Amino acid sequence: IFRYANVYGPRLFAKGEAGVVAIFTERMLDGKEPVIFGSGNNTRDYVFIDDVVEANVLALEKGDGGTFNIGTGIERNVHEVYRTVTNAFGDRAVKAVFGAPVPEVERIALDFSKAKNELGWEPRVDFETGVNMTVQSYGVDIQS
């Protein structure tokens, strides 16, 4: 059993309950303002899709049916996510607006030490690199 952090990366659907990286990216591509709900200070743990795939493969090869957290252990708030996406877009970034607060958990970060110890898994893709890869997958040239 895997408990995933917020998974993001290329080709993830940006509708419904999609992750904020895909939503911000698609809104900017459409020239629309990304919306930060509430204060934007709530935090989440974001793990890149390639790291999730690797964890699944390792579990098939080495796992004994245990329960594992698949995340980075690093909390990032919505403002940090927005800044990272806007950095990738450079001068084409669209300014965010604030929406009404939505009741939700304030903080989430997963301890992946069991996956590291038993499967030999740990996240490899840092957040900025993962966001850049995600934005590039939409055909955007990353700004330096």
Note the pLDDT of residue 18.
67
Fold of 2-137: Rossmann fold (3.40.50)
For the chain, what percent of residues have pLDDT higher than 70?
Answer: 97
pLDDT > 90 in the chain, percent: 76
Q: What is the pTM of this model?
A: 0.90
Query: Per-domain residue ranges for the chain?
Result: 2-137
- Residue 11: the pLDDT is 82
- Please tell me what DSSP assigns to residue 9: -
Is residue 111 exposed (0-12), middle (13-18) or buried (19+ Cβ within 10 Å)?
exposed
pLDDT at 43: 95
pLDDT digits (tens, 9 = 90+) for 32-57: 999 999 999 999 999 999 999 999 99
From 88, 93, 91, 92, select the one nearest 142 (Cα to Cα).
88
Q: What is the largest CA-CA distance in the chain?
A: 49
